[in-house]
Amino acid sequence: MNIPKTSYPRIIIIGGGFAGIALARKLSKQEVQVVLLDKHNYHTFQPLLYQVSTGGLEPDSIAYPIRKILKDFPNFHFRLAEVNEIDTTCNTIKTNIGDLKFDYLVVASGSKTNYFGNTEIEKHSMAMKTIPQSLNLRSLILENFEEALLTTDLHERIALMNFVIVGGGPTGVELAGALAEIKKGILPKDYPDLDTRLAQINIIQSGGCLLKGMSENASAKAEDFLEKLGVHVWKNVRVTNYDGKTVTTNSDLTFDTATVVWAAGVQGATIKGLDAKDFVTRGNRILVNQCNQVKGFEHIFAIGDIACMATDEFPNGLPMMAQPAIQQGQQLGSNILKLIEEKPMKPFEYKDKGAMATVGRNKAVVDLKTLRFQGVFAWYVWMFVHLFFLIGFRNRMVVFVNWVYNYIRFDREARLIIRPFKKKFKL
């Protein structure tokens, strides 16, 4: 891997997401060697992926080169690599570019889409966890409209314009809202020959409310916002299959559709060597103690989505969100330094800053610790918070300018089929 030898302890971080970057930044000017590995050479700001999928933002405005984030730190090394295995006996990681020994290892590999074992759904539906997946979805949505314009078969046209989003969490809600805005603001302008009333947006939630985990008010308001935008909200309905043509559910309800977006769950992106039952718990997450140490090891840690740290308030693990990941990364930085100096580590305490979701123009819901509000002000708060946490001045400016432009012009100019999506099935 061509990593220089050093007398400093070597800390390997797997994953340049929110958790890995926060940790690397914390360790950047210390007397340690940090090696960060990621299968992408950029950090992805996942909360805005849905805007890439719906043509609101270009992908490069929500991605940032990992090398640039840490370019000024002398003991920092980045390698573009996929880690395939962790050998906990020899303290070595095995990657597609070679093996590397560590003194301390931090797994920050995040999460991946959970299809709950349904291979048909996995094969035919669209996920939205990475930038390439979001670009695939963007292409598919636009290709479906192009096809709908050409087909003479009404049933096929309806299916091409029927969108089914499975999962009523923030991702599903935000995507449904954005698609509804495309139907209202873009379709009539771009496709005057198409009966845009045929475009339907469905969001299916297995539980009794949207945005589970947020307040009842937020959930009800989000549903109200979506319905006002013309989205069909189906609650207490569980999707059982999708064969590339029809979505079946546990009720009589079926949907003929060319587009299913699976936003119904994620699971830890475990790596061989730390994926055995001894280490992994609910949601395929690695069980860690209050100092993020993996069971049985003093020098191996897990942080962010991949880590399951149970607390009194969150007995099933902290939420798989950006804030716990960032806070754990920052705190682990201090703790590893303490461990090196043989001082006691400080147990992690999660500072819950609340949750928020946007449904569309002037429509968002915000639950802070002591304050809950919805509507236009919530939308401004949502935008401010997302701009603040985006990495890089250029990205913040580009996103801000895009949002202002889209707001004034009711537009989404990134509706481009740059890399056509090859469907694995035909209606």
Ligand X SMILES: Cc1cc2nc3c(=O)[nH]c(=O)nc-3n(C[C@H](O)[C@H](O)[C@H](O)COP(=O)(O)OP(=O)(O)OC[C@H]3O[C@@H](n4cnc5c(N)ncnc54)[C@H](O)[C@@H]3O)c2cc1C
The residues annotated with a catalytic role in the active site are 174
Task: Report, in Å, the least distance between residue 342 CB and ligand X.
Answer: 28
Strands annotated E in 292-378 = 300-302, 307-308, 355-360, 363-367, 372-374
Alpha helices in 54-130 (DSSP H): 66-69, 119-124
Which lies closer to ligand X via its Cβ, residue 196 or residue 219? 219
Q: Report the 10 Å Cβ neighbour count for 361.
A: 17
Identified binder of ligand X from the candidate list 13, 70, 108, 274, rule CB under 6 A: 108
Which lies closer to ligand X via its Cβ, residue 17 or residue 55? 17
Whether the Cβ atoms of residue 94 and residue 85 lie closer than 8 Å to each other: yes
Identified binder of ligand X from the candidate list 13, 49, 142, 309, rule CB under 6 A: 49
Distance between CA atoms of residues 307 and 305, nearest Å = 5
Identified binder of ligand X from the candidate list 121, 194, 302, 320, rule CB under 6 A: 320
Would you count residue 13 as binding ligand X (CB under 6 A)?
no
Residue count of the chain: 427
Query: Which one of 70-78, 135-143, 153-161, 304-312 is the stretch in contact with ligand X (CB under 6 A)?
Result: 304-312
Alpha helices in 55-169 (DSSP H): 66-69, 119-124, 131-150, 154-160
Which lies closer to ligand X via its Cβ, residue 24 or residue 161? 24
Q: By C-alpha distance, which of 321, 328, 320 is closest to 290?
A: 328
Would you count residue 171 as binding ligand X (CB under 6 A)?
yes
Identified binder of ligand X from the candidate list 10, 11, 15, 402, rule CB under 6 A: 15
Would you count residue 172 as binding ligand X (CB under 6 A)?
no
Query: Which one of 15-23, 158-166, 272-280, 292-300 is the stretch in contact with ligand X (CB under 6 A)?
Result: 15-23
Would you count residue 14 as binding ligand X (CB under 6 A)?
yes
* Strands of the 239-242 sheet, one edge to the other: 239-242, 246-249, 254-256
Whether the Cβ atoms of residue 68 and residue 82 lie closer than 8 Å to each other: no
Would you count residue 317 as binding ligand X (CB under 6 A)?
no
Query: Which residues ranging from 123 to 152 are in contact with ligand X (CB under 6 A)?
Result: 128-129
Would you count residue 47 as binding ligand X (CB under 6 A)?
yes
Size of the site for ligand X (CB under 6 A): 35
Identified binder of ligand X from the candidate list 39, 68, 415, 423, rule CB under 6 A: 39
The answer for residues whose C-beta is within 8 angstroms of residue 271's C-beta and 6 or more apart is: 14, 83, 84, 85, 86, 107, 109
Q: Is 256 helix (H, G, I), strand (E, B) or coil?
A: strand
Task: Report, in Å, the least distance between residue 43 CB and ligand X.
Answer: 7
Which lies closer to ligand X via its Cβ, residue 53 or residue 200? 53
Distance between CA atoms of residues 339 and 178, nearest Å = 47
Would you count residue 321 as binding ligand X (CB under 6 A)?
yes
The answer for residues whose C-beta is within 8 angstroms of residue 146's C-beta and 6 or more apart is: 417
Would you count residue 222 as binding ligand X (CB under 6 A)?
no
Handedness of CA 208, 213, 216, 217 (dihedral sign): negative
Which lies closer to ligand X via its Cβ, residue 141 or residue 160? 141
Would you count residue 268 as binding ligand X (CB under 6 A)?
no
Task: Report, in Å, the least distance between residue 401 CB and ligand X.
Answer: 21
Query: Which residues ranging from 326 to 365 are in contact with ligand X (CB under 6 A)?
Result: none
Would you count residue 269 as binding ligand X (CB under 6 A)?
yes
Whether the Cβ atoms of residue 28 and residue 76 lie closer than 8 Å to each other: yes
Task: Report, in Å, the least distance between residue 325 CB and ligand X.
Answer: 4
Task: Report, in Å, the least distance between residue 50 CB and ligand X.
Answer: 6
Query: What is the biggest distance separating any 2 CA atoms in the chain, rounded to whole angstroms?
Result: 73
Interaction site with ligand X (CB under 6 A): 14-20, 37-40, 46-47, 49-50, 82-83, 108-111, 128-129, 170-171, 269, 271, 304-306, 320-323, 325
